Amino acid sequence: MRVLVATDAWHPQVNGVVRTLTSLARSASALGARIEFLTPEGFPSMALPTYPGLRISFPNRGEIARRIEAASPDAIHIATEGPVGWMVRGYCRRRKLPFTTSYTTRFPEYIAARSIIPMSTRSIIPMSTRSIIPMSVSYAVLRRFHAAGAMTMVATSSLRQELSARGFKRLGSWTRGVDTELFTPDHAFELDLPRPVFMTVGRVAVEKNLEAFLSLNLPGSKVVIGDGPQKAELESRYPKARFLGEKTGRELSAHLAAADVFVFPSLTDTFGIVQLEALACGTPVAAFPVTGPLDVIADHPVGALDMNLRSACIRALSISREACRSFALQYSWESCARQFIGNLSALQPSRSSPLRGGLMTQGVAQG
Q: Which residues contact residue 233 at a Cβ distance below 8 angstroms, ignoring those fewer than 6 apart? A: none
Q: What percent of the chain has pLDDT over 90?
A: 81
Q: Are residues 208 and 169 in the same domain?
A: no
Q: Report yes or no on 367 lying in a domain.
A: no
- Mean pLDDT within 150-163: 96
Q: What is the per-residue pLDDT for 362?
A: 38
Q: Are residues 140 and 156 in the same domain?
A: yes
Q: If pLDDT is split at 50, 70 and 90, which confidence band does 114 have? A: low
Q: Are residues 56 and 74 in the same domain?
A: yes
* Domain harbouring 216, CATH code: 3.40.50.2000
Q: What is the per-residue pLDDT for 352?
A: 47
Q: Are residues 344 and 260 in the same domain?
A: no
Q: Are residues 313 and 254 in the same domain?
A: yes
Asked whether residue 278 carries a pLDDT value surpassing 90, the answer given is: yes
Q: What is the per-residue pLDDT for 109?
A: 85
What is the b/e burial string over 108-128, where b = at least 16 CB atoms within 10 angstroms of the residue's CB?
A: bbbbbbbbebeeeebeeeebe
- Mean pLDDT within 201-214: 95
Express each pLDDT in 37-75 by its tens digit: 999 999 999 987 766 667 899 999 999 999 999 999 999
In whole angstroms, how far apart are CA 19 and each of 83, 136, 137, 179, 274?
A: 20, 30, 29, 10, 10
Q: Report yes or no on 31 lying in a domain.
A: yes
Q: What is the per-residue pLDDT for 116?
A: 46
Q: Are residues 143 and 29 in the same domain?
A: yes
Question: Which amino acid is residue 313, in one-letter code?
Answer: C
Q: Are residues 262 and 308 in the same domain?
A: yes
- On the 0-12 / 13-18 / 19+ scale of CB atoms within 10 A, 300 is middle
Express each pLDDT in 79-91 by its tens digit: 999 999 999 999 9
Question: Which amino acid is residue 170, in one-letter code?
Answer: R
Q: Report yes or no on 363 lying in a domain.
A: no
pTM for the complete prediction? 0.85
Q: What is the per-residue pLDDT for 47?
A: 86
Express each pLDDT in 281-329 by its tens digit: 999 999 999 999 999 999 999 999 999 999 999 999 999 999 999 999 9
Q: Report yes or no on 214 lying in a domain.
A: yes
Q: Are residues 159 and 208 in the same domain?
A: no
Q: What is the per-residue pLDDT for 134?
A: 86
State the residue range of the domain holding 135. Answer: 2-177+333-356
Q: Are residues 161 and 263 in the same domain?
A: no
Q: Are residues 308 and 349 in the same domain?
A: no
